[in-house]
């Protein structure tokens, strides 16, 4: 049985559904996670989902990910643009990392244009709302198949 994929969501993503729906959409994080778990199954993958608002907890979870997962999808929320610690943790991993965003940060405020996560990711899927997560899973499935 191949090891699962881990989906990490960072700060404020637990507020999806009520948080700035004009930017982030109506779906809750539970909706998105349930959709991703089901979609992963159709791709022949198992998916585990985890969310935290705490930078250090995210660093610790990433540090342990290489032993238990074959790939990591991450929407680090605002830590994307600030966290060298999360970038450094991601850089220790030998498994593929894909960065995900609901919105397209490149079209938004200047401070969202920098991504530290991107420096440790194979690629980025952004701007497709909740669909970004499905697309990122499909990208991960293709990456793992090509290895
Ligand atoms: C989510 C956040 O919480 C923001 O801080 C990022 C990202 C964008 C998203 O679009 O998923 O800037």
pLDDT of residue 119: 98
pLDDT of residue 85: 98
CB distance 103 to ligand 1 below 6 Å: yes
Asked if residue 40 has pLDDT above 90, the reply is yes
Atom number in ligand 1 closest to CA 104? 10
CB distance 15 to ligand 1 below 6 Å: no
> CATH number, domain at 60?
3.40.50.9100
Q: Which of 63, 120, 114 is closest to 91 using CA atoms? A: 120
Pair 56, 62: CB distance under 8 Å: no
pLDDT tens digits along 49-67? 999 999 999 999 999 999 9
Q: Say what the pTM is.
A: 0.97
Q: For residue 120, how far is its CA from the centre of ligand 1 (angstroms)?
A: 17
CB distance 12 to ligand 1 below 6 Å: yes
Out of 69, 79, 101, 133, pick the active-site residue: 101
Asked if residue 117 has pLDDT above 90, the reply is yes
C-alpha dist (Å) from residue 6 to 57, 69, 72, 84, 106: 15, 6, 5, 20, 25
Which domain range does residue 19 map to? 3-145
Pair 71, 98: CB distance under 8 Å: yes
CB distance 75 to ligand 1 below 6 Å: yes
Pair 38, 107: CB distance under 8 Å: no
pLDDT band, very low/low/confident/very high, at 2 (cuts 50, 70, 90): confident
User: Domain count of the chain?
Assistant: 1
């Amino acid at each position: 049985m191949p090891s699962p994929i881990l989906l990490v969501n960072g700060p404020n993503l637990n507020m999806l559904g009520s948080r700035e729906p004009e930017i982030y959409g109506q779906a809750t994080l539970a909706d998105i996670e349930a959709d991703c778990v089901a979609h992963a199954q159709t791709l022949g993958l198992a998916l585990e989902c985890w969310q935290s608002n705490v930078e250090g907890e995210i660093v610790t979870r990433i540090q342990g990910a290489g032993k238990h997962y074959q790939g990591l999808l991450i929407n680090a929320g605002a830590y994307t643009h600030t966290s060298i610690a999360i970038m450094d943790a991601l850089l220790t991993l030998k498994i593929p990392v894909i960065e995900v965003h609901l919105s397209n940060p490149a079209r938004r405020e200047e401070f969202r244009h920098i991504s530290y996560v991107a420096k440790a990711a194979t690629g980025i899927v952004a701007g497709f709302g909740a669909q970004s997560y499905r697309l990122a899973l499909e990208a991960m499935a293709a990456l793992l198949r090509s290895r």
